Amino acid sequence: MLARLGRAGEPSDRHQRLEDHVGVLAGERPHGTDERGVGAHGVVPHEGCGLVVRSALQRVHGTRVSGRSLGRDAVPPPSKSVAPGPPRTYGRRVESSNGQADAWTGRVVRGDRGSVRVVDAEGGVTTARVAVPVSDPLDAPCVGDWVVLVRTGDDVAVTDVAPRRTLLERAEPGGSSRHQPLAANVDVVAVVVGLDQMPSLEKVERLLVVAWSSGAAVHVVLTKADVAPDADDVAHDITTQLGAETIVCSARTGVGVAEVAALASTGGTLALVGSSGAGKSSLVNALVGDEVVATSAIRSDGRGRHTTVRRELVALPGGGWIVDTPGLRGVGVTDSAGLSHAFADVEELARSCRFGDCTHQVEPGCAVRGALDGGTLTLRRYESWRALQREAEWLERRTDARLAAEQNRQVRRTTREQRRFRRARGH
Ligand SMILES: Nc1nc2c(ncn2[C@@H]2O[C@H](COP(=O)(O)OP(=O)(O)O)[C@@H](O)[C@H]2O)c(=O)[nH]1
Ligand SMILES: [Mg+2]
Ligand SMILES: [Zn+2]
């Protein structure tokens, strides 16, 4: 298994400190949540950052945190009303632990190199310097991260990032084995496909793998239905051939837009991925009911073209958040976890092959080849699976090699330092 950096995982001093911060935030439960502070479908609402951060911490620390600070007795019984309020509050100002600096929590809505924009409980937006150690690009706070901000004089710094529940990331195909974070704490990833062209099933499959790798739920959103009389047939094909749930919509006519909004309406975060021109930004604008993201259409005043410059997390009027990602043209498959979701049908077959290390090519008793011969698995899907699998394996090998090289460098550095130290002491 690939060693992961920058994912939610190891408890650390950093998280312990964050836990101390959010301990102050305990006791209030946002709307639409059960007594664990988790909304329907496991979606954690954005309101009451303390609870959001806590649920991430619970995963890291297990029962220790929930026992200590969630204070079951202090939590009121589950509310009958499940309607989430408008996304007004998503953080609470907290007393700092040292009583000097001003510290509070919030969510990153935009990430730039070395600095981020963070929205806090009062809806205030602060630009903050990133002061957490970033040894891997994946560690850098990104859109969707819940962070602790500390103000000292004129300086505002991000001093902590809550462990991520999910992380949408990209790997450059054929490029470096380093991954880039695209959006953190996403609940649903929508693979957006424009119906103005016949969608390529292989491209959709690739995006599905990337989407599933995030750990979030995944939907296919077929947009521009206004120009596709056969929209429902395409949706049917994608559902049956790729096993993905689909929504048909149009940003132009508004058809199906409410269904897309419903993916985030429990207070969750929806991320849109898809190739450039698919219609993602238009969909964001349709969902928000305003021109919040630039689309590639010619501006009405005729002065050139809009382009999506930045990735930004936007609050939806009905609750929840949405983030538009830049067109992912050639995204690399990041790991095999996404593959086993996107190709659950094929991997299920592979588990019943006679040999555990079956390559599904020439072996007797191969259930995958059996399904191919029997016509229940298409050659197209089989080949797509094999190609993506090879790519994931190649990338994992490269990443392992890179990690090993880094480890070697670190060991050599330490040895050198120790030698120098001993020499200095005359040993
Ligand atoms: N007919 C039609 N065109 C659309 C729709 N949504 C987007 N478009 C057009 O598709 C092009 C690309 O849209 P855009 O939202 O910028 O795509 P993005 O690159 O995925 O963000 C633009 O010319 C849009 O006007 C739709 O629902 N129907
Ligand atoms: Mg766009
Ligand atoms: Zn096999």
Question: Does the CB atom of residue 285 touch ligand 1 within 6 A?
Answer: no
**372 falls within a domain:** no
Whether residue 24 has pLDDT greater than 60: no
pLDDT at 14: 40
Assess whether 184 and 141 both reside in one domain.
no
Whether residue 396 has pLDDT greater than 90: no
**Ligand 1 atom closest to Cα of residue 294:** 16
145-158 pLDDT tens trace:
999 999 998 899 99
Nearest to 84 by CA among 257, 321, 310, 260: 321
Assess whether 22 and 141 both reside in one domain.
yes
126-142 pLDDT tens trace:
999 999 888 888 888 99
Whether residue 144 has pLDDT greater than 70: yes
265 annotated binding-site participant: no
Assess whether 152 and 175 both reside in one domain.
no
**391 falls within a domain:** no
Please list, residue by residue across 189-201, b when 16 or more beta carbons sit within 10 angstroms of its beta carbon and e when fewer do. bbbbbbbeeebeb
69 annotated binding-site participant: no
Assess contact for 60 and 11: CB atoms under 8 A. Answer: yes
Secondary structure class of 141 (helix, strand, coil): coil
Distance 191 CA to ligand 1 centre (A): 14
User: What percent of the chain has a predicted confidence (pLDDT) above 90?
Assistant: 43
**212 falls within a domain:** yes
Q: Does residue 23 come out as left (phi exceeding 0), alpha (psi in the -120 to 50 range) or beta? A: alpha
49 annotated binding-site participant: no
Nearest to 274 by CA among 233, 238, 222, 315: 222
pLDDT at 294: 63
Whether residue 260 has pLDDT greater than 50: yes
**96 falls within a domain:** yes
> What confidence category does residue 170 fall into, taking pLDDT thresholds of 50, 70 and 90?
confident
Whether residue 93 has pLDDT greater than 70: no
Assess whether 220 and 277 both reside in one domain.
yes
pLDDT at 336: 76
pLDDT at 296: 56
142 annotated binding-site participant: no
Torsion angles phi and psi, residue 422, rounded to 5: -65, -40
Nearest to 192 by CA among 286, 274, 254, 308: 274
174-203 pLDDT tens trace:
555 567 888 999 999 999 999 999 889 999
Q: Which ligand is closest in space to the CA of residue 296?
A: 1
Out of 282, 299, 300, 306, mutate this one to test ligand 1's pocket (max ligand atoms within 8 Å of CB): namely: 282
Assess contact for 149 and 159: CB atoms under 8 A. Answer: yes
Q: Which residue has the higher pLDDT, 414 or 345?
A: 345
Lowest pLDDT segment from 24-33, 284-293, 336-345: 24-33
pLDDT at 133: 84
**Ligand 1 atom closest to Cα of residue 251:** 27
Burial class (CB in 10 A: 0-12, 13-18, 19+), 384: buried
Assess whether 77 and 223 both reside in one domain.
no
**155 falls within a domain:** yes
**90 falls within a domain:** yes
Q: Which helix (H) or strand (E) holds 183?
A: strand 179-184
Question: Does the CB atom of residue 280 touch ligand 1 within 6 A?
Answer: yes
Mean pLDDT score, 55-72 = 26
Q: Whose Cα sits closest to atom 5 in ligand 1?
A: 224
Distance CA 144, CA 146 (A): 7
Assess whether 157 and 265 both reside in one domain.
no
Q: Report the CATH number that the domain containing residue 293 is assigned in CATH.
A: 3.40.50.300
Distance CA 291, CA 289 (A): 7
Assess whether 155 and 58 both reside in one domain.
yes
Distance CA 42, CA 141 (A): 23
Average pLDDT value for the chain: 73
Of the residues 111, 143, 161, which one is the last residue of a structural domain? 161
Whether residue 46 has pLDDT greater than 60: no
324-380 pLDDT tens trace:
887 665 556 666 788 889 999 999 999 999 999 999 988 999 999 999 999 999 999
Distance CA 117, CA 180 (A): 18
Assess whether 226 and 255 both reside in one domain.
yes
> What confidence category does residue 33 fall into, taking pLDDT thresholds of 50, 70 and 90?
very low
Mean pLDDT score, 153-181 = 82
Q: Structurally, how many domains does the chain consist of?
A: 2
Assess contact for 237 and 231: CB atoms under 8 A. Answer: no
Whether residue 67 has pLDDT greater than 90: no
Q: Token pair of 126, please?
A: 């602060």
Question: Does the CB atom of residue 276 touch ligand 1 within 6 A?
Answer: yes
Distance 209 CA to ligand 2 centre (A): 21
Question: Does the CB atom of residue 224 touch ligand 1 within 6 A?
Answer: yes
- The domain of 126 spans 13-161
Of the residues 296, 324, 352, which one is the last residue of a structural domain? 324
Assess whether 240 and 92 both reside in one domain.
no
Distance CA 187, CA 338 (A): 15
| Residue count of the chain | 427
Question: Does the CB atom of residue 306 touch ligand 1 within 6 A?
Answer: no
Torsion angles phi and psi, residue 42, rounded to 5: 75, 10
pLDDT at 379: 94
Assess whether 179 and 319 both reside in one domain.
yes
Distance CA 282, CA 279 (A): 5
Distance 346 CA to ligand 3 centre (A): 10
217-258 pLDDT tens trace:
999 999 999 999 999 999 999 999 999 999 999 999 999 999
282 annotated binding-site participant: yes
Q: Report the CATH number that the domain containing residue 30 is assigned in CATH.
A: 2.40.50.140
Whether residue 58 has pLDDT greater than 70: no
Nearest to 91 by CA among 76, 103, 75: 103
Of the residues 143, 161, 179, which one is the last residue of a structural domain? 161
**401 falls within a domain:** no
**31 falls within a domain:** yes
Assess whether 252 and 301 both reside in one domain.
yes
Q: In what order do the strands lie in the sheet with 313-315?
A: 246-248, 217-223, 188-194, 269-273, 321-324, 313-315
| 97-106, 221-230, 265-274, range with greatest mean pLDDT | 221-230
pLDDT at 328: 63
114 annotated binding-site participant: no
Whether residue 306 has pLDDT greater than 80: no
Assess whether 112 and 202 both reside in one domain.
no
Q: Whose Cα sits closest to atom 7 in ligand 1?
A: 279
Whether residue 29 has pLDDT greater than 90: no
